[in-house]
Structure 1
Amino acid sequence: MATLLRDPDIGRYDILAIQEPWKNPFDTTTHHPAKDQFHLCYPDKDQTLPARVCFFINKRLDHSRWHFEEANRDLGSLNLRLGTEEEQRIMVHNVYNPTQTATERGSTLPLLGKALEQLSQHEQIIIGDFNLHHELWGGDRVQRADPNAAELITIIEDHCLTSNLVPGTITYEERDGRTTIDLCLTTAGLVGRLIQCEIETNMDHDSDHLPIVTSLDLNIVKMMAKPRRNWKALDEKTFTRVLQRELPPQQRPRTKTALDRHVEEVMVALTVAVEEAVPTTIPSSRSKSGWNEECAKVLAQSKRLRRQHSLYHTEETWEAYRTARNHKGRTIKKALRQNHRERIEEASQSPTNLWRVAKWARNRHNQSPNVTPALIDPATKQQANTPNEKAELLRKTFFPVPPETNLEDIENANYPAPITMPPITTREIEEAIEESSPFKAPGPDGIANKALHIASPWIKHHLTKIFNQSLALGYYPEHFRQSTTVVLRKPGKDNYTVPKAYRPIALLNTTGKIMEAVIAKRLSYIAETHGLLPDTHMGGRKLRSTEHALHLIIDKIYDAWNTGQGKVASLLLLDVSGAFDNISHARLLHNLRKRRIDERTVKWIGSFLRPRLTKLSIDGFTSEPYRLETGEPQGSNLSPILYLFYNADLIEKCGELEDTMTTGFIDDVAILTWADSTKETCKKLQEALHVAEKWAATHASIFAPDKFQLTHFTRTRTRIDVEEPLQTRWGMIEPKKTCKYLGLIMDSTLTWKQHIDEVQRKVTKTVNALGSLGGSTWGVTMREMRKIYKGVAVPQMMYACSAWSNANWRTTDKPYTERTLSKLQSLQARASRVISGAFKATSIPALDIETYLLPVELQIFKHNVNALGRIGPGDHGPTEGETRRNKKSPRRAIEQSITDRQGPNIRRQEHITPYIVPPWWQGPQTFIEASIEEAQARHEQIIQDELDAIHIYTDGSGIDGSIGAAAVCTTTQETKSVYMGDETTSTVYAGELQGISLALQIAQEDRSKGNRRSKVAIYTDNQAAIRSTARPKGKSGAYLLKNITQQIDELRTQDLNTEIRWVPAHIGIQGNEDADRAAKEATGWREGGLTGPRAVEPQQLYPLRSTMKTWSHKGELIYGHDILATRA
């Protein structure tokens, strides 16, 4: 099959019917190198055994006019619709009938007869390998007919079938054996349309079964290949030239109609620029990856000798053919292997392509098929076969008519005072465009984010006025409402004939998504700053992760265990069916007003939500537009934050019940209760469910009780009844020993054995995938292989390890069992051998050092301390009086570990807030020139021209493990410096930020003295500090950035603007040299030098320094020298 599907002439055929296809060990289907040219239709009902028939359907056939039906792994049928009348159909049956000697012998003929009978009103074609001998089709060569051939003859007679091959045509040939067992049968109505039915020797690729070509005179609708935009070949000069020519003048539309018209004008300008600057590509049907001239040459030689052997059938012709065939196999295998290696090496040169290749390697066993199987309507049990029928069924599933919503409380509702927001700024739009992924799939208008990135300098002011007028009018432009909804498989489902095994993803027009991103960031900011959402609502929020939600639940479970004689905690995980698609718009807008969102934004969101037009895209087919009146698009930046406001009441009201805590992660809701017995916890869960049902009735939401999970957590062996079920109005929910929440498998005793086993399975798959990306002489380099391992396998291994790695505090410094550590070390050792090519007997410590990978135990420690820094310690830290009977929660265990290691107090580390400034904050002007020469020349020009400005140079420096910061003002001849602490508590980056703060302090003092300056000009040699100051975000150094922003705002109120410029270091700029010297002196490096108070310690500094120090010490014990110094 490898050579057949790469044959340049294979594209001439519309349908390939294959029997006994090769079983792909990395996939659930078969080999498919022609994905750009053929749809693969592969039976998958029986997952235990591979299918023995499949179709490859040329993509030029209109997919709306055919569909695939599978009976079992030995019989598949293709339903072809001809012309325009529904009755004009042809059924093509692909059959494999096992041999009489096969161990799993079971004739396919009864099933074939049944299929022919059911479809007798249509013309039919039967092709396949029947493994039966009879003179009717085998001719005089057949000396003894198979007894089972009578059954096939009966089918032929009952349905008036005609065998189109000349009797005696050899279809199977193996050295000394030649026979006819492959047939092509048609009903009477197709006999007159037959053009050709014979052996096609030119398509013979050394199978023992000879290829049969059948041509019929049929009128099948074909599709033209759709060209695609090659965005990576975009001509930026042409694009900008055309865009500047086509862009309309900036306007401020006063009406909705005028706004739609102006938006359309801007979109047309972008579209024209795209058409002229972005080339289109149509994949060549004759282009086959890995196929070269040598492959074609040996294939032709093998075919020629095969024909000679068929003619003469001598020992000499067979030997010549066998030798050529084996040589062809080796040559093609070598060429394909070389092509794979070249593609891997080429991909490794680009970071983006490297991760794509890594993703392919991990998912190669689970590639989605090209064709969606027939879907079954759960209500009527009818099959949806055609793309139109599938699209309609999926539309009803994705966008159902929501239940009636109780909106009585909305009428005459009183709302608190709203939080006002200023107009959208150009900087917000620039940032939203920069943060968008350049090559993500565009919406219906075909304008990718890459075009917006290049167009930003010319369209940002147009978009600023458009977006602000859109807000002012409370109207979302018509162009932005259109979308294409792509249907994707949910991974890991058992049955893909069920519509709910698929999910919709909306591809929205990218320009509209920019505005959605701006509004989403604003909503997020005011929600965090003003506390508009419940504290236990975790998903979709800055500085909150799944580990936050998990530790909230686990801490409460341990608290329950440590209360009295030990309580039991019961966890109920809820599932909302179609959460995003069943949103009541009126209720969402009410919730937004109730939580103080301003009326202008609420009205705009109402317009954004309804009505929308979308087309469903499935298997290359695009439906007619559907009008959506409910829900919100999955794929919009706004959808997650809006849903947080939508179900915030559910989290709050359930959490208000006694001995109950509710957490949410967007639409995943967990209710935890605790009591002395499971009967009591179930009673409390019933109360919580009653509250949840009331919420659902007012929010048009439907729970999916079949997906609820109930688990009772206790380490008491007999006192607690862990089998107590939960009685609900949907029936009994039986408890399980494990539940999966946010990707973590939680067992009832929190010992995590099942989760560790799952981690081992996932990481093993990833490590196995690494082997396909390189070897000792080819492929991805060791450095890049290590990068893939650290970027893919380590996060899989360490996910939520702050929870599962701290359940065994029975021995000092051993929070996890030896079994757990041994499993993880074994996984990393396997990866290290793949990365480095080391021998199997190489020790684990040596592997870690040679591949420069942190040992697993240090990975765990580093992750745990980082997690505690992000999440924060619990409400009550470990106490000296803690009894031995009490059980430590993972969070308390980590804090105790830090204390035992005599590290810093975790409570004194830097506190980072989600936002430092509002999204609309106007920061200082910043300038970073493209080269050192340009920066130096620009600096000299400014010093000469800007005589009225105050010029200040800043620097941060580290010497002998100490950090200092300084600012030198050449205008006032003033210097300020400060000691930041040693390298265990501060960084040079923090010193650079502190230097800018000192510069602003000098400017403030100068202004207070009555000096009038045109501006504040600050020069620094650290580009990271400049970028952070321009757009402050919640990360390391946040407290310094907060001071800087306050200083900039204070100067702005005094009509003094700030600009920060990059100057290259150590090239003779006097102010920079002076600042560098002052910063070094601030570290106290001079004899008798003074140091000041320490700076606030960054969160990630201690775990990084501590793990590196421990690892370096281990390296010295093994190698006798500092491994980190050697690596440097």
Structure 2
Amino acid sequence: MTAIIQWNCRGLMRNFDDVEFLLEEHQPQALCLQETHLNASLTNFLRRYCIFRKDRADASVSAGGVAVIVPKHIPCCAVDLATGLEAVAVRLLLHKVVTVCSLYIPPSFALTLSDFNDLLRQLPEPFLLLGDFNAHNCLWGSDHVDSRGRMIESILMSHSLCLFNTGEPTYFSPSSLSSSCIDLTIGSASIFTSFTWVADTNPHGSDHFPIFLKTNLPPKCVPMRTARWKFDKADWSVFTEATQLACTSFDKISVDQVTELLSESILHAASLAIPMTSTHLPRRPKPWWNEECTESRKKQNRAWGIFRRYPTQSNLLAFKQMKARARNIRRQSKRKNFQGYASSINSTATLKEVWDKVHRIEGRYHAFAVPLLSHNGVCPESLEGQANLLGQHFAHASSSENSSPAFLRYKEQAEAHAVKTSGAVREAYNQPLTQHELEMVLRSTKPSAPGPDGIHYRMLTHLHPSTLLLILYLFNRVWQEGRFPLAWKVAIVIPLLKPGKDASCASSYRPIALTSCLSKTFERIINKRLMYFLEKQNILDKNQCGFRSYHSTADHLVRLETTIREAFVNKQHCIAVFFDLEKAYDTAWRHGILQDLYEVGVRGRLLAIIKSYLSERTFFVKLGAALSREFVQETGVPQGGVLSVTLFIVKMNSIARSIPPSVQYSLYVDDLQISVSSCNLSICERRLQVAINNLLKWADENGFRFSPDKTVCVCYSRRRGISIEPTLRMHLTPVPVKKEHKFLGLIFDRQLSFISHIKHLKIKCQKSLNLLKVLSHKTWGSDRLCLLRIYRSVIRSRLDYGCFVYGSARQSALKVLDPIHHQGLRLAIEAFRTSPVLSLYAEGNEMSLDRRRFSLGFMYSLRIRSVAQHPAREAVEGTKYQKTFENKPSIIPPFAMRNQNLAQSVGIDSKLPVATVARLAAPWDYNCVRCDFSLTKFNKKETPTEVMRQEFFELHKEHDSHSHYYTDGTKTESFVGCAMIGPSVRSVRRLNSSATVFTAELHGLLLAVDHIIQTSNSRSVIYTDSLSTLRALTSLETPKNALVALLQNKIIAATRRGCSVLFCWVPSHIGIPGNEEVDRAAGTSGNRAVDISSIPYRDYCALIKYHVKAQWQAEWSLQVSNKLHMVKPFLSEWQSARHRDRFYEVVLC
């Protein structure tokens, strides 16, 4: 087999096809290139390979440069060289660890003996030195000896090195039509017998011949991959039938045995119905390669063969012509193929197809690079050994050795008293798990990698109903016994290199843990119960915004910006400290988590299963297809676990008690920020130092450790002149003071100008615009609709994040982002570069960034106001310094005032009434909602009205013993209303005119349910013609609408009172008496005053859009001299903007 290829390619990109051919045809473990002619701007090619390169410093000249290209399945790491020579070295695992160095010495370079000796001293033994030396000596087949050749010969003798050359020519001179030997392969004596040196007879696109180092020794790393399921070719009907099981005979076996049998049966069914990929690495396909490319390469090789046998000028010219023609054919074929590929990314393709292709163009699909690690100078010579090194590092990160002596003493005393897990059997959260909870969790899961058992989420969603019952049986066994199956406690860890870190260091890798999908499904059920209990009892800290409903990172961004703005207007300093917890998840104290849960009232099964979940956790590290030995995770919450985040938040919950009331703070999972504002810098220092000391004490008592290096202090102030930096310490280490810091994705500079953040954002968006440049073209490429979707998803989404916070920057700073927005629109709609900006907005039907910032900010304020106890509510509703800000217009006001002023300028009331979000129903109570959808089987358009009425009457007759209610909602241009009629009852309500018809229908159902509860009707049926409301009520997803959650709670309350409520869908306007009567009643609501003014905040989307569009239209109507305005006076989307052909779309629009 070919172990290493050495080649002076005379331009890597120029002969890229030949480089790819050598890599795919011979599959070497390393390819050493000389004269690559690369510069720093050329990146992201050969994505399945690690490329180690050294380019010429002078980027204006395409010359020189060396590279070593290694397949990503080969463990490798760079060797740092301090030399003036053009050399790059890599250590890689072949049959043993070998250092490979690619070297190029130009003919004009003044090579000295000391330069060469310095290079050799830096190469770890054993090594191979391969390169173009431009040296002549009879020792390697030259016909004469020069001074450089004598120097190389003396080095070979003095260093006891071996020359691998056999005398075959390695270079052909087109000018003299002669061959010579100037490419050398030099190596350590210990590996001389391991390789055979062979020179190719075809130079391909260069004038140097490729050199092959072949070996018969088996490699340590076989190119293999883990076999994966081909779900796109699965026969799910076969799979479902094959998983049919019964759970009657599992009572006498243990939970571990049930888990094993269940896993085996699912995998057996999968093997029957779902094909798998092979373990061999697939060859990279070339969709652009065609018969013409094959024929042109044959002609090129044939021309070279003739020239090699008969070296004349005419044959040389013929060879060059064939080579140029073959290269041109390949380029044309590539171009046409890519044009077709780009054109297939359009609005007619499925969303998955579009994003898969977009990610491929962006280079998102990178093969995993296997690292080459060493410990104390020893480098394991197997993949298993490399994996063990990573496993030792990850295990050490979760070891108690990282804890301080003070905490270890505290821990020993605390763990002497075990946490009791018995009792509280009657607590609602401890009752058996329900089938509805299982189905709800399976519906909400997203496809992710399987764990050690190989079971995928997609398998779980296609199981036979009897198997689902068996899974529920298993879950309840685990729940009642309080013991996690051992197979669920094992994780497969994939090491992921941190950006910008040294690949040869184990600490540079982040562990990504893969656990059983069955385990994560069970964890999700338990997590929903635990979160419901924590939220219902108001246990979680108010300022904790991580992984909680109706909370986000924007909450703390708004709060911090408001705090700093208020300090500015009062001429105060605002000093903020941003903390960093070292290995927070890995060092979380497990016993402390159980203690905290016990203190807040968690008992019984829930506490017992969490205790079992945290204990006896182990993991394997996976490198390629190799697994390490098993390691123990001694401390911390399990990586990759669903419950882990919630349990970590519980452990962080007590941190608030350590922060004095005079100190403001923000907490997003483990991202902690504290701040103090005062005119006196000493007061700020004193208060913050007290808080820091308290936090350090809290960390010592809970097993955490703050990083002194990554914890940062920023002093926000508008005072000019020499600024005095605050002095804060963590133990004896000073806290670094910086001028800016990135907090939750936004860069807060000391004067809160956001200029640094805007510049950083612009650079990121400019890189993302390259994708649109690739996909957009006048005659081919994606269509307008697809390009706009990609722009909004990839680029505009970056601009949107935190935009209503950094939108407080001066207009001159915000204008920096406008060109990004404009260029994205120009590329999507293929507008002229001279097209006016307002024309771009009108043509693309896309508003300006200013208007979008207001829309997002106003909707955010409505969402915050819909939550009764929200940490950002005070910052959103107003500021206590409003008069002060009004008296100082030069100072930028906080978000609340800006939002209010912008709303007034648009014509919207900033205090719109918003319905408060209701608490979600308990997870175990969701199955109380019963709906009859039997009439949906009839198509209203195709079924005669009489047939539909007859079917309804039969349905009505089935429920003769029930009390019958009819509800309806209506929305017109002037009013919104709802109505409910029933036995001796008729109720009509008028709603806020901004309410949607969906909200009106829900209020109608609420009227009926409220009446049923008040009258205590034991059996009731509610008829409605709103299918969307009933589907929302019975949806397995968590409700996002406040009224849906409220209605679910009321239905559950009615059920508990003995009131059975059944909802039935009926078609509208087919002559059903009750439905027609309630429809007329709802129409009379326009004669009433508004009864219900508070509506869900999402209902105001249409109102905001209407007012913003009206302001935009008024601005556009003033552009009477604009050429586009004459054609398109009203803002809307062109009908021809959705043409499938890019050429016609550009011409028509």
Which TM-score bucket, shorter chain as reference? 0.7 to 0.9
Structure 1 residues 505 and 187: alpha-carbon distance in aligned structure 2, compared to 1, 3 A threshold = closer
Alpha-carbon offset, residue 581 of structure 1? 0.7
Alpha-carbon offset, residue 131 of structure 1? 3.1
Alpha-carbon offset, residue 243 of structure 1? 0.6
Quote the residue 1:53 is aligned against: 67
* Aligned-partner SS, 1:685: helix
* Aligned-partner SS, 2:990: strand
Quote the residue 1:76 is aligned against: 89
Quote the residue 2:393 is aligned against: 397
Alpha-carbon offset, residue 865 of structure 1? 0.7
1:170-209: CA deviation from partner (whole Å, max 9, x where unpaired): 43555656543222345566666665612153xx541333
Quote the residue 1:700 is aligned against: 703
Quote the residue 1:336 is aligned against: 334
Q: What is the letter of the counterpart of residue 760 of structure 1?
A: K
Alpha-carbon offset, residue 152 of structure 1? 2.0
* Aligned-partner SS, 1:488: strand
Quote the residue 2:351 is aligned against: 351
Quote the residue 1:660 is aligned against: 663
Indicate which of 10, 24, 28 corresponds to 1:10: 24
1:958 aligns with 2:974: no
Quote the residue 1:268 is aligned against: 264
Quote the residue 1:1117 is aligned against: 1118
Q: What is the letter of the counterpart of residue 867 of structure 1?
A: Y
> What pairs up with 1:298-377 in 2 under 5 angstroms?
298-346=296-344, 348=346, 349-361=349-361, 370-375=368-373
- Conservation of the 8 A alpha-carbon contact between 2:54 and 2:87: no
- Conservation of the 8 A alpha-carbon contact between 1:98 and 1:105: no
Alpha-carbon offset, residue 714 of structure 1? 1.0
Quote the residue 1:206 is aligned against: 205
Indicate which of 1089, 1097, 1106 corresponds to 2:1095: 1097
1:644-678: CA deviation from partner (whole Å, max 9, x where unpaired): 11111123322xx1521222111111121233333
Q: What is the letter of the counterpart of residue 518 of structure 1?
A: I
Q: What is the letter of the counterpart of residue 240 of structure 1?
A: T
In 2, the alpha carbon distance for the partners of 1:279 and 1:672 equals: 57
In 1, the alpha carbon distance for the partners of 2:1080 and 2:1133 equals: 29
Indicate which of 607, 611, 616 corresponds to 2:616: 611
State the aligned residue count: 1066
1:980 aligns with 2:988: no
In 2, the alpha carbon distance for the partners of 1:54 and 1:97 equals: 12
- Conservation of the 8 A alpha-carbon contact between 2:933 and 2:1065: yes
Quote the residue 2:764 is aligned against: 762
In 2, the alpha carbon distance for the partners of 1:530 and 1:805 equals: 37
In 2, the alpha carbon distance for the partners of 1:6 and 1:172 equals: 22
Structure 1 residues 567 and 663: alpha-carbon distance in aligned structure 2, compared to 1, 3 A threshold = same
* Aligned-partner SS, 1:442: coil
In 2, the alpha carbon distance for the partners of 1:222 and 1:800 equals: 47
> What pairs up with 1:532-551 in 2 under 5 angstroms?
532-551=539-558
Q: What is the letter of the counterpart of residue 1123 of structure 1?
A: L
In 2, the alpha carbon distance for the partners of 1:1110 and 1:108 equals: 71
Quote the residue 2:751 is aligned against: 749
- Conservation of the 8 A alpha-carbon contact between 1:415 and 1:596: no
Indicate which of 624, 630, 635 corresponds to 2:629: 624
- Conservation of the 8 A alpha-carbon contact between 1:952 and 1:1017: yes
Quote the residue 2:453 is aligned against: 445
Structure 1 residues 129 and 538: alpha-carbon distance in aligned structure 2, compared to 1, 3 A threshold = same
Alpha-carbon offset, residue 797 of structure 1? 0.7
Structure 1 residues 768 and 896: alpha-carbon distance in aligned structure 2, compared to 1, 3 A threshold = same
1:280-303: CA deviation from partner (whole Å, max 9, x where unpaired): 123543744433333222222222
- Conservation of the 8 A alpha-carbon contact between 1:575 and 1:707: yes
1:400-451: CA deviation from partner (whole Å, max 9, x where unpaired): 222253134576699999875133221111111111113x111111111111
In 2, the alpha carbon distance for the partners of 1:623 and 1:429 equals: 34
Indicate which of 1023, 1026, 1031 corresponds to 1:1026: 1031
Alpha-carbon offset, residue 801 of structure 1? 1.8
- Conservation of the 8 A alpha-carbon contact between 1:957 and 1:965: yes
Indicate which of 694, 716, 719 corresponds to 1:691: 694
> What pairs up with 1:754-833 in 2 under 5 angstroms?
754-806=756-808, 816-833=809-826
Quote the residue 2:444 is aligned against: 435
Alpha-carbon offset, residue 1099 of structure 1? 2.1
1:616-642: CA deviation from partner (whole Å, max 9, x where unpaired): 123553212212221122322212111
- Conservation of the 8 A alpha-carbon contact between 1:711 and 1:737: yes
Unaligned runs of 5+ residues in structure 1 are 83-88, 807-815
- Deviates further, 789-798 or 771-780: 771-780
- Conservation of the 8 A alpha-carbon contact between 1:572 and 1:711: yes
1:516 aligns with 2:523: yes
- Conservation of the 8 A alpha-carbon contact between 1:263 and 1:477: yes
In 1, the alpha carbon distance for the partners of 2:637 and 2:1074 equals: 54
> What pairs up with 1:263-302 in 2 under 5 angstroms?
263-282=259-278, 284-285=282-283, 287-302=285-300
1:42 aligns with 2:49: no
Quote the residue 2:841 is aligned against: 848
In 1, the alpha carbon distance for the partners of 2:275 and 2:1030 equals: 39
* Aligned-partner SS, 1:260: helix
In 1, the alpha carbon distance for the partners of 2:766 and 2:525 equals: 41
* Aligned-partner SS, 1:710: strand
Quote the residue 2:736 is aligned against: 734
Structure 1 residues 374 and 905: alpha-carbon distance in aligned structure 2, compared to 1, 3 A threshold = same
- Deviates further, 233-242 or 993-1002: 993-1002
Alpha-carbon offset, residue 362 of structure 1? 5.0
- Conservation of the 8 A alpha-carbon contact between 2:1013 and 2:1059: no
In 2, the alpha carbon distance for the partners of 1:396 and 1:946 equals: 67
Alpha-carbon offset, residue 228 of structure 1? 2.2
* Aligned-partner SS, 2:574: strand
Unaligned runs of 5+ residues in structure 2 are 1-14, 866-872, 1120-1124, 1138-1149
Alpha-carbon offset, residue 752 of structure 1? 1.0
Quote the residue 2:222 is aligned against: 223
1:747-777: CA deviation from partner (whole Å, max 9, x where unpaired): 1111111111111111111122222234333
* Aligned-partner SS, 2:917: coil
Q: What is the letter of the counterpart of residue 981 of structure 1?
A: N
In 1, the alpha carbon distance for the partners of 2:41 and 2:488 equals: 39
Alpha-carbon offset, residue 932 of structure 1? 5.7
* Aligned-partner SS, 1:702: coil
Structure 1 residues 138 and 426: alpha-carbon distance in aligned structure 2, compared to 1, 3 A threshold = same
> What pairs up with 1:519-668 in 2 under 5 angstroms?
519-563=526-570, 566-654=571-659, 657-668=660-671
- Deviates further, 186-195 or 747-756: 186-195
In 2, the alpha carbon distance for the partners of 1:593 and 1:552 equals: 32
In 1, the alpha carbon distance for the partners of 2:751 and 2:490 equals: 50
- Conservation of the 8 A alpha-carbon contact between 1:75 and 1:108: no
Q: What is the letter of the counterpart of residue 668 of structure 1?
A: D
Structure 1 residues 646 and 187: alpha-carbon distance in aligned structure 2, compared to 1, 3 A threshold = closer
1:243-272: CA deviation from partner (whole Å, max 9, x where unpaired): 11xx34257758xx6111112221111111
Structure 1 residues 634 and 979: alpha-carbon distance in aligned structure 2, compared to 1, 3 A threshold = same
1:213-269: CA deviation from partner (whole Å, max 9, x where unpaired): 23233243563744322122221011001111xx34257758xx6111112221111
Alpha-carbon offset, residue 785 of structure 1? 1.4
Alpha-carbon offset, residue 717 of structure 1? 1.5
* Aligned-partner SS, 1:139: coil
In 1, the alpha carbon distance for the partners of 2:189 and 2:386 equals: 32
Quote the residue 1:813 is aligned against: none
In 1, the alpha carbon distance for the partners of 2:378 and 2:676 equals: 43
Q: What is the letter of the counterpart of residue 50 of structure 2?
A: L
1:877 aligns with 2:904: no
Alpha-carbon offset, residue 863 of structure 1? 1.3
Structure number with greater CO (CA < 8 Å, separation at least 6) is 2
* Aligned-partner SS, 1:516: helix
- Conservation of the 8 A alpha-carbon contact between 1:924 and 1:1030: no
Structure 1 residues 900 and 350: alpha-carbon distance in aligned structure 2, compared to 1, 3 A threshold = closer
Alignment TM-score, normalising by the size of structure 1 = 0.86
Structure 1 residues 387 and 841: alpha-carbon distance in aligned structure 2, compared to 1, 3 A threshold = same
Structure 1 residues 717 and 999: alpha-carbon distance in aligned structure 2, compared to 1, 3 A threshold = same
Structure 1 residues 44 and 315: alpha-carbon distance in aligned structure 2, compared to 1, 3 A threshold = closer
1:489-534: CA deviation from partner (whole Å, max 9, x where unpaired): 223x254444333211111110100111112222222222211011
